[in-house]
Amino acid sequence: MKGTLLFAQSGGPTAVINASAAGVIRRAQQCGFSKILCARYGIDGILKKQLYDVTHMTESQLRLLADTPASAFGSCRLKLPDPDVNSEIYLWIKEVFRQYDVRCFVYNGGNDSMDTCNKVARYFKKSRYDCAVIGVPKTVDNDLVGTHHCPGYGSAAKFVATCMTEIALDTAVYEKGRVTICEIMGRDAGWLTAASVVAKPDLICLPEVPFDVRAFYDKAMDVYDAKGRCLIALSEGIRDKAGRYVGEAGQKDSFNHTQLGGAAAFLADCITQKFGVKTRAIEFSLPTRAAGHLQSLADRRDAEACGRHAVELALQGKTDVMVTLEWQDGKSVCGSFDLHHIANEVKRVPLQYVTEKGSNVSETFLDYVLPLMEGESHPRYQRGVPVYFDSSVLKTIGR
């Protein structure tokens, strides 16, 4: 295919985001694009013409790239204006695209990035610039609509399930244990927290269920009294009935002093104060999305397939669509979804999975999550640590 393919990454990283990049680049090489460029720092790099030329990346570089967590080309969180209201920035994007003869633009990101993608596609249609604009999904939160699951989720779920399994062992070693509260990423969706069901914690609190702190104390203390310990998986995004984040409530005390830590630290401290019980708060934090050493093979394959499929869709003349993953006969199949359906909607965990009056997750959720975590794609280790792609080998091309 003639012309240039331009790829960019956006939003928060995942363990397999670069597997999608490898999928795009490899397929674009096979299809004979005259040039393949990657923007540095997402759409921001396009505006600043900071572009890497990856036309001739080797297969071994692509494999190492796919091993590597966190956006190798850099990311941004730039929110573009509505092109119907303010088209200035789009005019500039079109000029840059023209300069490099970009005829296919693949943008890899989450909700906000799909919104960006849709705006660029709309502007190109309106201003009659012939360029396929294809979104590739990625988010550890798994909250994108239109797709059965998202690349990035399976590996993060594998991290959550593995760490919870190990923490469950660790917290059971003493006859008299603690109340241990693990705080898990996922913003307003509980998909990642729900993955902890693999390790069978005593309570699982999702943001899909309004958080009732009294009922929470009652349940936690009942378990503690019966077992001598209690292990809890808690979404960072839990909110009370009034919609206030529990972590947020914890950030200021009644004297307006800033308090540190999120929901888990806040609740653990409250339990210690109220009931005189030893507690521990563990925030899974950023390693959840960065743990390349725990890539799920299924997730990595999905991520690569989505990248490849983006190029296919462009070759088929599609634009303004996001690649999706459908679930057919126990495996992922790529499809597509109109981008304008996606913007700003959040896919949440269906309440059918919630059990025990909102304090646990049904084991039927395993049917959803286990296949996405399946298989290991161990990176190569050198002297004890994983070897990852070094972005400094990439060459930026001129402005």
* Residues tagged in the binding site annotation for Mg(2+): 111
How many CB atoms neighbour CB 188 within 10 A? 16
Task: Indicate the residue among 3 and 386 with the shorter CB distance to its own copies.
Answer: 386
Q: Classify residue 198 by its DSSP letter.
A: G
Residues near its own copies (CB under 8 A) are 9, 13, 41, 44, 68-71, 74-77, 158, 161-163, 165-167, 169-175, 198-199, 250, 253, 255, 257-261, 265-266, 269, 273, 280-283, 285-287, 289-294, 296, 298, 370, 372-376, 378, 381, 383-386, 388
**Minimum separation from the CB atom of position 252 to its own copies (A):** 11
How far is it, in rounded angstroms, from Cα 143 to Cα 38? 26
Query: Please, what is the minimum distance in Å from the beta carbon of residue 278 to its own copies?
Result: 12
Q: How far is the CB of 125 from its own copies (least distance, A)?
A: 30
**Catalytic one among 141, 143, 302, 320?**
141
- Concatenate the DSSP letters of all residues of 313-373 into one string: HHHTT--SEEEEEEEETTEEEEEEEEGGGTTT------GGGEEGGGTEE-TTHHHHHHHHH
Closest C-alpha among 59, 39, 31 to residue 106? 39
Residues tagged in the binding site annotation for substrate: 139-141, 185-187, 236
| Alpha carbon distance 164, 198 (integer Å) | 8
Angle at the Cα of 364 (from 361 to 368), degrees rounded to 5? 100
**Cα–Cα distance measured from residue 358 to residue 215, given in angstroms and rounded to the nearest whole number:** 10
Q: How far is the CB of 392 from its own copies (least distance, A)?
A: 11
Pairing of strands 385-386, 381-382: antiparallel
Known binding-site positions for diphosphate: 12
CA 391 to chain centre: 21
Between 96 and 132, CB nearer to its own copies: 96
141 is catalytic: yes
CB nearer to its own copies: pick between 211 and 388: 388
- Sequential DSSP letters for 272-323: HHHH---EEEEE--THHHH-GGG-BHHHHHHHHHHHHHHHHHHHTT--SEEE
Helix (H) or strand (E) holding 136: strand 132-137
Q: Which amino acids are annotated as binding site, given as ranges?
A: 12, 111, 139-141, 185-187, 236
> Roughly what angle, to the nearest 10 degrees, separates helices 213-227 and 263-275?
60
Q: Nearer to its own copies by C-beta: 31 or 78? A: 78
181 or 339: CB nearest its own copies: 181
Distance of CA 226 to the CA centre of its chain: 37
d(CA 47, CA 155): 32
Rounded least distance, CB 254 to its own copies, Å: 9
Minimum distance, C-beta of residue 302 to its own copies, in the bound complex (Å): 14
What stretch of H or E contains 132?
A: strand 132-137
Closest CB to its own copies among residues 198, 209: 198
The set of catalytic residues is 141
